[in-house]
Structure 1
Amino acid sequence: MSNSVTRFFAPVLAVSVLLASPVPAAAQDDVSEARVRKIEAEIRALQRKVFPGGDGRFFEPQISAGEQTSSTSNAPSTTAVTDILARLDAMEAQLQRLTAANEENTNAIAGLESRIELLEGRGTSPTTTTTTVTPPATGQGSEEPSASETNLSAMSGGQSASSGTSTGAAAGPSAERLAAVQAIAKPQTDDPADDEYSYGFRLWDAGFYPEAQQQLTLFVERYPGHWRTTYGRNLLGRAYLDDNKPREAAPWFLRNYQTDKSGARAGDSLLYLAEAMIAMEDTNRACIALAEFSETYPALATGRLQDQYDRNRAKVTCN
C-alpha cells in the first residue's frame, strides 16, 4: 500500500522540489515581463477583434478617424448613387415604352368603338368606311403558280379585296332600316370570333348586304387564323355578289381560294369567282375558273356543287 502511494505522489513531490529550488531573481523578472507583454499584446489583439470601432480608451486604433471616414464613406456612397441613377434611367425608359403602348391601345380601341357604332347604326352608314385588305399575289407557300393560277390572279381587274367599299359620301340609312338591323341579335358565346362571323351571316341572310360586308370584313381582318375565316371570306364575296357588285366580290373569292386551297370553302369561292366573271361578261376568265374548279375539286363538281357548276357552264361557251 505504501509503495503504491509513493508511486502515485512521486511526480507531485518532484514538481514541488523543483518549485522550491531557488531560481535567480533576474531570470524570474525576465520571464514575468515577457509573459506580461505577451498577455497585453493578446488583449489588444482581442480588443481589435471584438471592438473594431473602438474610441481609443482601451487600445490604440489601427487607423485614424480621418482615414476611416474617407475609406468607409466615399466608396459605398458613390456606388449607391451610381446604382440609383442606373435604376432611374431604366424606370424612365420603361415608362416611355408603357406610355407609347398605352397610346397605341387607346387608338386601336377608339377605332374599334367607331366601327361598332357604325354596325349598330348609331353612326354614319357602314358603306362610308374604307377598309384596307391586301390579297395574296400567289397561291400557298413558295410553289410556282401554274398558268391557270396566273390567269386567275388577273381576274380582279387590278382591284384589291377592299375596293368594293364605297369611299364617296352616302346618305345615312333610314330609321326603319336601322331598327331592322338592330333587331338582329348578335350571338354571345365563349367563341367571340365565331360570334362575329355568325352575326355577319345573319345580316347577309336577312338581306342587309352593306352591313354584312362591313361586319364580315371586320371578322376576317380581326381573326385571320380562325377556322371560320374561310367561311367569312367566301361569304363576304357573296355579300358583294348578291349586292350586284361582282367586281368587288371577285377579289375576295380569289383570295379565299389562293390563301388555303384545302379550306372548307375554297372550292366554293373558285366556283363563285367564275360566277362573278360571268356577271362581268368576262367569258375567258370565267372559263379559266370553271376549268380550275373541275380539275382541283372533282368531288365537288360531281357532288355538293354539281348543280351550280352545271348552271355556270351552261351560261358560257368554253373552248
Structure 2
Amino acid sequence: MAEDNQSIVTEFTLAGLTDKPELQLPLFLLFLGIYLLTVLGNLGMIILILLSSHMHTPMYFFLSSLSFIELCYSTVITPKMLVNFVAKKNVISYQECMTQLYFFIAFIISEGHMLSAMAYDRYVAICNPLLYNVTMSYQICSWMVGGVYSMGFIGATIHTLCMLKVVFCKANKINHYFCDLFPLMEIACSSTFVNEIVLICLSAFNIFIPSLTILGSYIFIIVSILRIKSTEGRSKAFSTCSSHISAVAVFFGSAAFMYLQPSSVNSMDQGKVSSVFYTTVVPTLNPMIYSLRNRDVKLALNKLFQKKKFHK
C-alpha cells in the first residue's frame, strides 16, 4: 500500500529538563523528594479534612478539592519525568502522550477556576458574613466544584481533539519533559494555525476570567477589611487571604508566562522553567501556605495525635 510523504509517528522522545548526564541523578532525587512531599501534603490535607468534623465547611471543601486537583496533575507529570531521568531513552507512545496532555490540561484549567471559587468564598465570608451559610450552601458549593471540573474537561477535550488532527512525521523529539501544547505544535508537520487560535482563546478565557473574579473579590475584601476598626480584626482578615494571594500569583504568573506568548517569541527552555513551577513547585507549596499557619488545621492535627495517644 502506497504511503503519503508523511509517516505516522507512533512514539515521541522527550528531551527532558537537561541533557547533561551528571545532573540526571541529582535532579531525580530532587524531584522525587518534591513529589513525595506533594503526595504527602495534598493527600494528608484531604484525609485531615475528611476526618475532622469542624473542617466540614465550604472553605475546606474547596481546599480539599484543590488538593485533589494538584495531586492529580502532579501525578500525571512527575512519575514519567522521574522515569526519564534514569532511563536510557526518554520514550513516550503517541497514545500515552495524548492521554497525558488531556489530563494535564483538564486539571491545570480546573485549578485556575478552583482558585477563583476559593476567592469568591472568602469574599462572601468577609463581606457578607450573615448570608454566608445561605450563599455558600453545600448544594451551591457542589455545583461550583462541578462547574470547575466541567470547565477543565471541556477545555481539555477541545485542545486534545485539535491536537489529534495534527500530523507528526520524521521529527518526533519533544523539547520538553512532558507532552504539552507548545512543544507538540513545534514539531508538527501540518498547519497548527487552528491549534494556536484555540490555545490563545481558551488560555485567555481560563486565565483572565478567574483572574478577574479573584481581583474583583479581593477589591471588595480589602475595602471591607479597611472598614474594620480593630487592628487585630484587620490582621486576622488579612492573614486568611495572604496565602491564597501568594498561591494565585505563582500559579497564574507562571501559566501566563508559558501560554500567553506567540509561539515565535516563546522559548521552550524558558517554558520548561516556568512549567516546573506549576507542575511541581505549586502543588508542593500550596498545602503548606494554605494550612501550616491555619489554626483549624493545627487543631485537627492535635486532635488526631491525642486520639492516637489515647488508644495507645
TM-score, normalised with respect to structure 1: 0.22
> Which of these two proteins has the greater Rg computed from alpha carbons?
1
TM-score, normalised with respect to structure 2: 0.22
RCO higher in structure (CA 8 A, sep ≥6):
2
